[in-house]
Amino acid sequence: MTKLSGFQRYVGEWNVKTFPDSTFKGHIHHIKKEVEELEEAYLSSNDYHVAQETADVFIMLLSLAHRLEFDLMDEAANKMRILLRRKWQEPDENGVIEHVR
């Protein structure tokens, strides 16, 4: 077990205890809200709030992974192996860089 796996369990257990009626849909909408708050903090050049909002997004992802019963660190490591093998396109008008499909 990694340090992150233990933290995921800690966050996830707190989340289940504190918000027992939370749903997948609720988590997804909350994550979207936190990402919007992260963007607002970045656009206002507030480094402290950028860090705090990034942490909020991370905690929400850990909570969701716990509820869905997968280890986020393991999945991220697996996905990173895939990303390393992909070819990447040029950024679009919003700066988004996607892989070649």
Provide the pLDDT for residue 100.
95
Domains of the chain: residue spans and CATH: 3-69 (1.10.287)
Q: How far apart are CA 96 and CA 46, in angstroms?
A: 22
Average of per-residue pLDDT across 75-83? 96
Instruction: For residue range 13-47, list pLDDT tens digits in order.
Output: 999 999 999 999 999 999 999 999 999 999 999 89
Provide the pLDDT for residue 3.
87
Provide the pLDDT for residue 50.
94
Average of per-residue pLDDT across 67-93? 96
Q: How far apart are CA 42 and CA 40, in angstroms?
A: 5
Provide the pLDDT for residue 70.
96
